[in-house]
Amino acid sequence: MSGQSVVTVAGEQPYDVVIGRHLLGHLPAVLGDTVRRVLVVHPAALATSAETVREDLVAHGYDVYLAQVPDAEEQKTAQVAAFCWGVLGQADFTRSDAVVGLGGGATTDLAGFVAATWLRGVRVVQVPTTVLGMVDAAVGGKTGINTAEGKNLVGAFHPPAGVLCDLASVESMAPFDFVAGLAEIVKCGFIDDPRILELVEENTALLQDPVAAASSPVLAELVERAVRTKARVVGEDLREAGLREILNYGHTFAHAVEQVERYRWRHGAAVSVGMVYVAELARLAGRLDDDVVERHRSVLTSLGLPTTYRGDRWEQLLTAMRRDKKTRGDLLRFVVLDGLARPSRLEGPDPTLLAAAYAEISTTPEPSTGILL
């Protein structure tokens, strides 16, 4: 693969996800002629990039405002959303104006939520700058913020007008941030597209170097394949009535880890452990063969992602999982595999089965080893 690729997400409001390098020049076309004011939501680390975006949009005739927000999950709060609403209100944003989310998955979640709730919905364009944002958060129309009780419990479905996945931005990522994002790509390999797993297995050294990977056709193909998986699912099921749940593979346990660790774990690292947990759960339930479970461990370990979690947190994890938004009433629900690329559901598993799967991924508690950053 070379150059740019475009994946169209179907639905009531179809939009394009453009994957390539140096894509900011596309932003005016995606915003359109009817937009006059634009709010660019960005973390402090991207202040220079946000200023570049502002200057370019001003040159195209837009009134542009910048909202600098905290880093990572710290920005996904009601207080930060209220700050953004304040900027929109003071600048007299109307329904024909727009929000741009420039940053990682947390920023696109926040920007999308702010856009969804301002005047009951204004246009949003997502410009994800991390692998996680490109293949997960920015695509699909899910927006949200966290509360003390859990992750993404407050949110709205609000599809973007477009998504620009600029692979050049990946070059500046810290190696573990980059690798953590790959967990969501690996997830798409297990639930839908096994070619993803083969590409990862064939290119593990390359995929641990964000600078080298950013300009490689391998990363471009991995991102495109993951986006195509998500686009197919979201196009059929925007509001998570059924099919879309498969995208939550590994996430019930992952969100519990994130909450127990007070969001000090990167999302991709938690998803990595979460996928191994549900693979073990499916194996113990007689649904999944040993070799597919082992492939989870081998693929994720080859990237340097964690596949175990400390063994003294079960009660806290169980409480967090019962609070997860994928739970129905008191019934715990998990996306599991019946085989490679054969996702299914496991509802209300026996508590002893849940604990046994936890034992399979448990380690003796140790001090932080670098994945808690």
- Name the catalytic one among 120, 315, 347, 366: 120
- Secondary structure (DSSP) of 25-66: GGHHHHH-SS--EEEEEEEGGGHHHHHHHHHHHHHTT-EEEE
User: Choosing from 76, 187, 251, 296, which is the catalytic residue?
Assistant: 251
Q: Is 225 a catalytic residue?
A: no
Is residue 120 part of the annotated active site? The answer reads yes
What residues pair up with 333 in beta bridges, in sequence order? 347
Catalytic residue among 184, 224, 245, 258: 184
The catalytically annotated residue of 142, 151, 228, 295 is 142
Known active-site residue 60: no
| Catalytic-residue membership of 294 | no
**Does the annotation mark 158 as catalytic?**
no
Amino acid at 37: R
SS (H, E, C) 294-346: HHHHHHHHHCCCCCCEECCCHHHHHHHHHHCCCCECCECEEEEECCCCCEEEE
H or E, element range at 190: helix 175-191
Coil, helix or strand for 144? Answer: strand
> Which residue of the set 151, 228, 230, 266 is catalytic?
230
Q: What residue type is assigned to position 260 of the chain? A: V
The verdict on whether 255 is a catalytic residue reads yes
Can 240 be counted among the known catalytic residues? Answer: yes
Catalytic residue among 248, 261, 266, 333: 248
The three-class DSSP label of residue 4 is coil
Of 171, 201, 221, 240, catalytic: 240
Marked catalytic residue, from 76, 187, 225, 255: 255
Other CB atoms within a 10 A radius of the CB of residue 78 amount to: 12
Identify whether the C-beta of residue 37 lies closer than 8 Å to the C-beta of residue 62.
yes
Helix axes 194-202, 175-191, angle to 10 degrees: 140
**Active-site residue 347, yes or no?**
no
Among 175, 190, 215, residue whose Cα is nearest residue 303 = 175
Q: And the tokens for 146?
A: 């966290």
Please identify every residue annotated as catalytic.
Answer: 120, 142, 184, 230, 240, 244, 248, 251, 255, 267
